[in-house]
Amino acid sequence: MQSEPETPLHAQPDEHLNLNDLKELDQQDIADLDLNPGLEDSIPATPIPSGINIASKRSLDDTTNEIQFDNFEDFAPQVNIRSPFSSNTNLSSLAHTLPDLDRSTRLRQLSMSQQSKFISYVDQQLLAIQRKFVQSRGLNDKLGYVTLSELLKDVKALLDFIWYSIDGLVSTEHLLQFSKEELNSKISSWEQEVLQKDQQTVKSSDFGQTYYIMRIADDLMDYVEKFEIAPSDRETISKLFKLFFILDRIFKLLIVGLNANNIKLNQTDVIRFIGIAERSRMKLPLFFEHCNIHGYHFELSKIYEESLDLCPC
């Protein structure tokens, strides 16, 4: 049997180098290494204004940095996510309970005819939103969206309709009435129950709802960045953040499959969602910077945070 060839011998470090015969660099060699000898001489010193010593100048710089970068209020929450999305929303009329763990409480599955009507309606609403958006870009202001707030309202209404077919909630604002810890506890309890109980596999009733939710999330940032928001328009800014937070909660429940109809994102959808979420997290701060809107660092850091925490790295 032929054996593997032996590894050739390698020279040891400095084996062929005579350390006692090394030549030192002379002054001319050192001068040749300086590729720009006149650089330091060509840079003029910045003069210090009269009346300001070095200590006071440093104190002034520190004060400026504190004003620009160390304002604690800029990093505190500015939006009350549990407040109504619109002024005419009555949150007290919503049932303050999270989705039931009992699989027997699943919503009645729609017939093929009803599913077809559902898909047609959602397609029509998406097209209507897109047309109004295009009209607002200068074609016909009377037929288009005058403000971003109007577009957010239509998108939220369509999202409510789609989520109702999944979990039976009349308004997605319901999802914001619970803290992150409360929802995580509910998810943990549900996962433990699934592991402990020998349940029969329940067929998912997803006939396109997750596709439409994904499409809304993907289109939202493209719509938003074409509008201008005044820094004083706190109502529109609040609606924008709430819509992103609602989508975050929706995707969180879809990733783990905690909803009345057992609908869960597959691995391909999860990967696609990660791209959508990361793009939104990158572009929304740039949009706020473009509109000269400041002070929402906390909210910007929370965009899709909860749902991304459940995704694979």
Under a CB-based contact definition with an 8 Å cutoff, are residues 240 and 297 in contact? no
Q: Which two tokens stand for residue 248?
A: 């975050």
The SS3 of residue 43 is coil
* Residue ranges, the chain, pLDDT below 50: 95-96, 101-104
CA distances from 253 to 41, 118, 256, 308 (A): 64, 22, 5, 12
Question: Quick one: pLDDT at residue 140?
Answer: 73
What CA–CA distance (Å, rounded) separates 188 from 184?
6
Distance CA(205)–CA(188), nearest Å, equals 23
Task: Write down the H helix ranges in the chain.
Answer: 27-33, 39-42, 54-69, 112-134, 148-167, 180-196, 209-224, 234-256, 267-290, 297-301, 305-309
pLDDT at 287: 96
Please tell me the distance from the alpha carbon of residue 192 to that of residue 188, in angstroms, as a whole number: 6
> Under 8 Å CB-to-CB from 95, ≥6 apart: which residues?
174
Calpha distance 261→104 (Å, rounded): 10
Question: Any idea which residue has 């010593």 for tokens?
Answer: 53
Whole-number Å distance between alpha carbons of 148 and 240: 9
Q: Is the separation of the CB atoms in 248 and 301 below 8 Å?
A: no
pLDDT digits (tens, 9 = 90+) for 248-276: 999 999 999 888 888 999 999 999 999 99
* CA-closest candidate to residue 225, choices 151, 166, 116: 151
pLDDT tens by residue, 83-133: 777 655 555 555 445 555 444 455 677 888 999 999 999 999 999 999 999
pLDDT value of position 212:
97
